[in-house]
């Protein structure tokens, strides 16, 4: 367990900021907030534009839809008539224009998860824009600066736990592309339209109800494992708060899996996205080792592993050299029972049973916090100008999840200034894991330098991350368990002038 200093002076401000006993106390504000509509946001966007910039235009229509999950038919909300929604693809430096026509019965928004974009296009109602009302339109228009695997989803209530998500791939013009094929693999936990809705799930969590699919069984354990640990034990301590009837890969239940085809011996790049709301997955491909090449869009030192743990909001790119036959790609719901499955097929062979558990799941499991940055993407060495502690707390008792003891409504923004090197100390004092996500920035993990925008903080663990404050505005910073975020575990990284 990490040592926790009880009193920390935060650097770099005019004497206003202190944390006492782990609670951020803000005696004076250090300036006025740099709003989404400010000149600074416009200037940062201008700096991202390249000569001869291409424009990629699409339209998204979030609307009620009946979805076939490969047997189970569910009434839900989706971008169009499928889940995941349309794949959006651009090249780094492109301008992306997305016209959103809201055909849902309530207001919505679209957030571009992981993209270091202009603040007024970040899609957070109440922080960067007004909600997109029913039957209204909003046009997102922004430059995508960095290549990588991203995804989009609403930032409105618990809409993410419907079918409202899709993948955004930003290609690298300089990518050597040392692979024969590319597969996009999206993981999800599914409840909507099975007699429950995400709003209903949140309401029962708030009531502390045991009924309605809540799973308290695996709460309270200490974190276990890591590379070479006891893989029979859950890696995360807490398992999530919700029991889901289905786990999906690319919108399908395991009894009717999608098939990913290639030839034996081919090298395939897999872009994997965890779009779940309350479930981390342990992923393995039967009979294969995986090489992790990117984490949250950014390159890491290629790392071989049998299996991989992926938290909500995380993305990993993998490269795998395929054997000869038919193999299960399994995403086991970590600490829960159930799994998603896809088929990898390079030849004939029997279709594995939906419940198949490849031995790789119990071998070496890589976590995002163990990956290392390649030298090109590591943050350059620099003094830290300002440190903020984010103490993560809460419990199932009244379903209130907090940062520094406060819910989002009560929270003091985390003030920073443009140009600073900022350190965030994520200190989990709860018995649940939290995949912590910062909008608009890709931080570097202090220990491994790996660049990420979403990092799992296990129960009673601390993770320190550094970022360069080069993207002015107001940025949501929260747990990517959508129920935790909605129950308060969110704050604002707030640029001040
Ligand atoms: Cu994908 Cu604010 O999150
Ligand atoms: Cu959380």
Q: Report whether residue 252 contacts ligand 1, using a CB cutoff of 6 Å.
A: no
Q: Where are the alpha helices (DSSP H) in 153-225?
A: 198-207
Q: Which residues contact 272 (CB under 8 A, 6 or more apart)?
A: 149, 185, 186, 187, 283, 308, 310, 315, 316, 317, 318
pLDDT tens per residue across span 277-328? 999 999 999 999 999 999 999 999 999 999 999 999 999 999 999 999 999 9
Closest approach atom of ligand 1 to CA 124: 2
As a dihedral over the C-alpha atoms of residue 93, residue 94, residue 95, residue 99, rounded to 10 degrees, the angle is -140
% of the chain with per-residue pLDDT over 90: 84
> Ligand nearest 478 Cα, by number?
1
pLDDT tens per residue across span 80-124? 999 999 999 999 999 999 999 999 999 999 999 999 999 999 999
Q: Answer for the pair 4, 427: CB distance below 8 angstroms, yes or no.
A: yes
Determine how β-strand 307-310 pairs with β-strand 365-366.
parallel
Q: Report whether residue 478 contacts ligand 1, using a CB cutoff of 6 Å.
A: yes
Residues at Cβ < 5 Å from ligand 2 ion: 434, 479, 481, 484
User: How many helices and strands in the chain, by DSSP H and E?
Assistant: 3, 35
> Ligand nearest 153 Cα, by number?
1
Q: Where are the alpha helices (DSSP H) in 167-271?
A: 198-207
The mean per-residue pLDDT over the stretch 255-267 comes to: 98
Total Cβ atoms within 10 A of residue 222: 11
Least confident of 6-10, 26-30, 193-197, 337-341: 6-10
Distances (CA, A) of 3 to 20, 232, 428, 460, 463: 15, 28, 12, 10, 12
Q: Report whether residue 111 contacts ligand 1, using a CB cutoff of 6 Å.
A: yes
- pTM, two decimals, is 0.90
> Ligand nearest 438 Cα, by number?
1
Instruction: Give the start-end residues of each E strand in 72-180.
Output: 73-79, 88-91, 95-101, 111-113, 137-143, 148-153, 166-171
Total Cβ atoms within 10 A of residue 381: 6
**Per-residue pLDDT for 211 more than 80?**
no
Residue 299: the pLDDT is: 97
% of the chain with per-residue pLDDT over 70: 89
The mean per-residue pLDDT over the stretch 329-335 comes to: 97
Residue 29: the pLDDT is: 66
Confidence of residue 16 (pLDDT cuts 50, 70, 90): very low
Residue 395: the pLDDT is: 80
Q: Answer for the pair 198, 191: CB distance below 8 angstroms, yes or no.
A: yes
* DSSP at 181: E
Q: How far is the CA of 242 from the centre of ligand 2 (A)?
A: 12
**Per-residue pLDDT for 232 more than 50?**
no
Among candidate residues 243, 459, 259, 472, the one with its CA nearest the CA of residue 351: 259
DSSP 409-474: TTPPPEEEETT-EEEEEEEE-SSS-EEEEETT--EEETTTB-EESEEEE-TT-EEEEEEE--S-SE
In angstroms, the CA 307 to CA 357 distance is 12
Q: Answer for the pair 457, 433: CB distance below 8 angstroms, yes or no.
A: yes
Among candidate residues 414, 403, 409, the one with its CA nearest the CA of residue 474: 414
Report the mean per-residue pLDDT for the chain. 90
In angstroms, the CA 240 to CA 95 distance is 37
Closest approach atom of ligand 1 to CA 439: 2
Name the residue at shortest CA distance from atom 1 of ligand 1.
Answer: 113
Name the residue at shortest CA distance from atom 3 of ligand 1.
Answer: 113
């Amino acid at each position: 367990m990490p040592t926790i200093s009880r009193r920390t002076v935060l650097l770099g401000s005019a004497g206003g900021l202190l944390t006492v006993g782990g609670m951020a106390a803000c005696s004076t504000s250090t300036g006025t907030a740099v709003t989404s509509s400010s000149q600074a946001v416009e200037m940062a966007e201008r700096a991202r534009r390249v000569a001869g910039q291409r424009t990629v235009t699409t339209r998204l229509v979030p609307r009620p839809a009946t979805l076939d999950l490969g047997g189970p038919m569910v009434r839900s909300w989706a971008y169009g008539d499928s889940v995941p929604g349309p794949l959006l693809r651009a090249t780094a430096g492109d301008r992306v224009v997305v016209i959103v026509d809201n055909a849902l019965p309530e207001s919505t928004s679209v957030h571009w998860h992981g993209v270091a974009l202009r603040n007024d296009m970040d899609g957070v109602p109440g922080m960067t824009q007004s909600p997109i009302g029913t039957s209204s339109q909003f046009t997102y228009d922004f430059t995508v600066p960095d290549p990588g695997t991203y995804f989009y989803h609403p930032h409105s209530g618990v809409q993410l736990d419907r079918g409202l998500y899709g993948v955004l791939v930003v290609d690298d013009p300089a990518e050597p592309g040392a692979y024969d094929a590319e597969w996009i693999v999206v993981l999800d936990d599914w409840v909507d339209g099975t007699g429950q809705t995400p709003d209903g799930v949140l309401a029962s969590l708030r009531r502390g109800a045991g009924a309605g699919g809540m799973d308290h069984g695996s709460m309270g354990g200490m974190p276990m494992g890591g590379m070479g640990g006891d893989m029979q034990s859950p890696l995360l301590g807490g398992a999530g708060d919700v029991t889901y009837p289905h786990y999906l890969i690319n919108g399908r239940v395991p009894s009717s899996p999608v098939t990913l085809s290639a030839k034996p011996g081919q090298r395939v790049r897999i872009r994997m996205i965890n779009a779940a709301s309350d479930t981390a997955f342990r992923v393995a491909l039967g009979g294969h080792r995986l090489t992790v090449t990117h984490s949250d869009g950014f390159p890491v030192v290629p790392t071989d592993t049998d299996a991989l743990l992926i938290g909500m909001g995380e993305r990993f790119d993998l490269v795998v050299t395929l054997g000869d036959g038919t193999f299960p790609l399994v995403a086991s719901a970590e600490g829960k029972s159930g799994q998603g499955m896809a088929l990898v097929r390079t030849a004939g062979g029997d279709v594995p049973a939906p419940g198949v558990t490849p031995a790789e799941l119990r071998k070496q499991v890589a976590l995002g916090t163990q990956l290392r940055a390649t030298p090109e993407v590591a943050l350059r060495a620099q003094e830290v100008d300002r440190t903020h502690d984010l103490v993560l707390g809460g419990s199932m008792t009244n379903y209130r999840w907090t940062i520094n003891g406060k819910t989002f409504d009560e929270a003091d923004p985390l003030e920073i200034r443009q140009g600073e090197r900022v350190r965030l100390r994520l200190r989990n004092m709860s018995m649940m894991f939290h995949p912590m996500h910062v909008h608009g920035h890709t931080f570097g993990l202090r220990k491994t330098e790996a660049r990420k925008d979403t990092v799992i903080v296990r129960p009673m663990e601390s993770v320190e991350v550094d970022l360069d404050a080069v993207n002015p505005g107001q940025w949501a910073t929260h747990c990517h368990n959508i129920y935790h975020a909605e129950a308060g575990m969110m704050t604002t990284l707030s640029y001040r002038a």
